[in-house]
Amino acid sequence: MRTLLLACLAAIWAAFAQAQDLSALARLDPAQSSLRMAGDEVAIDLALSQPVPWRVRVLDDPPRLVLDMREVDWSGLSAVPRQAGAVRSLRAGVFRPGWSRLVLELTGPYLVAQAEMDTGAARPVVRLRLAPAAAADFAAAAAQPEPPGWALPEAASLPAPAARDDSRLLVVLDPGHGGIDPGAERDGHSEAALMLGFARELKEVLLRDGSFQVVMTREEDVFVPLETRISIARAAGAQVFVSLHADAIAEGEAVGATLYTLAEEASDAAAQALAERHDRDDLLSGVDLSKQDDLVATVLMDMARTETRPRTDRLAAALEGAIKGAGLRMHRRPHQKAGFSVLKSPDIPSILVELGFLSSSRDLKRLTDPAWRASMAGALRDGLKAWAAEDASLSALRRP
């Protein structure tokens, strides 16, 4: 019965898509919305300013409910009364251009027992009822392929390979997080927004220099899966990949810029935790990583037989030299290693720069200071140039 209901949801969505004019942004009305337990069921009521196309499904590992809606402003979500012990965490935001996503992480297996948009009230209300289910039933529902009509627009259209211009280094800049995944948050600042702003500034600095071509993995506040970021770099023909972050770290002292490169063995527990948190953010935002194992195995094998690792180490050394040379604050261990998924391109030197940590008030002050950001962008440009020159001379030496 419930399986049948799930199968019907795509049809419900299609009906709404046809019935509504979809241009305007719908808002969540927190006063008329609630998240609560009704007996052993989870009752979710979400009141909207207008009806929108929507669809819902469950995913496993961890168990979660994913609700996609067209153009909903979720900013009122934190004000929704919330008394549902079965909901471990929730997040919402832009998923793809034109689509927003709400993800409820559940404490166990719950299936959708009721899903409707009630348009009889003053405001349309999405009513969801989740009932406890057997683990096997839940796993079967979560494993169902997405019904026809479910597929969202592509996460990002991959840029065509850039016209080969050997005189300019093709840099892919990757502003961390975005959309439903804001990254670290502190005092009204989000890592996602700060990194997008910094990436735009760095792009300008690199282009003005004349030695670089630049491709960005995202140009706006949207969610881009980690795997897609790698695909964008590959499609662009990246010669170097720079992922930009400013995470919050609870463990140990975290102040100052830090460079992370890929390693199977993390340099310490904090670096390991940071890499795992990025994977978890990616997963919770609704990405199916079921194909990831094969990819990772292949990539790690490739890594062993390429020259990428020493080139990446020299990249870290060049950036460290330039950042210190500019008199900018670095972490007391400026180059660390961990298994960051976004750094797993086998043949593209890839580095993750924590420009600072939002958990540090001193770093937050620097990150929000335009003069500091300009110095950091200049230092990264200088480091990339120094590395490219060294890399070119070494590869010329290696040629017969």
- List residues binding Zn ion (CB under 5 A): 176, 183, 245, 247
**Closest separation in Å from C-beta 146 to Zn ion:** 28
- Of the two residues 41 and 181, which places its CB atom closer to Zn ion in the complex? 181
CB atoms within 10 A of CB 376: 26
- Of the two residues 76 and 197, which places its CB atom closer to Zn ion in the complex? 197
The CB-nearest residue to Zn ion is: 245
Contacts for 188-194: CB closer than 8 Å, 24+ residues apart? 189/358, 189/364, 189/367, 189/368, 191/245, 191/246, 191/247, 191/248, 191/358, 192/221, 193/221, 194/246, 194/358, 194/367, 194/368
Sequence-ordered list of residues with C-beta below 8 angstroms from that of 203, at least 6 positions apart, any chain: 173, 214, 216
- Of the two residues 64 and 278, which places its CB atom closer to Zn ion in the complex? 278
- Of the two residues 33 and 285, which places its CB atom closer to Zn ion in the complex? 285
**Closest separation in Å from C-beta 23 to Zn ion:** 33
Strand duo 99-106 + 64-70: pairing: antiparallel
Are the CB atoms for 118 and 125 separated by under 8 Å?
A: yes
- Of the two residues 53 and 183, which places its CB atom closer to Zn ion in the complex? 183
**Closest separation in Å from C-beta 245 to Zn ion:** 4
- Of the two residues 124 and 176, which places its CB atom closer to Zn ion in the complex? 176
**Closest separation in Å from C-beta 263 to Zn ion:** 18
- Of the two residues 109 and 176, which places its CB atom closer to Zn ion in the complex? 176
**Closest separation in Å from C-beta 293 to Zn ion:** 23
**Nearest Cα to 387, choosing from 301, 305, 329, 322?**
322
**Closest separation in Å from C-beta 354 to Zn ion:** 8
Q: If you count them, how many residues does the chain have?
A: 400
- Of the two residues 176 and 286, which places its CB atom closer to Zn ion in the complex? 176
Give CA–CA dist 299/293, Å, rounded: 10
Q: Omega into 81 within 30° of 0, i.e. cis?
A: no
- Of the two residues 50 and 267, which places its CB atom closer to Zn ion in the complex? 267
**Closest separation in Å from C-beta 281 to Zn ion:** 8
**Closest separation in Å from C-beta 359 to Zn ion:** 12
CB atoms within 10 A of CB 378: 16
The burial of 80, by beta-carbon neighbours within 10 Å (0-12 exposed, 13-18 middle, 19 or more buried), is given as: buried
**Closest separation in Å from C-beta 31 to Zn ion:** 33
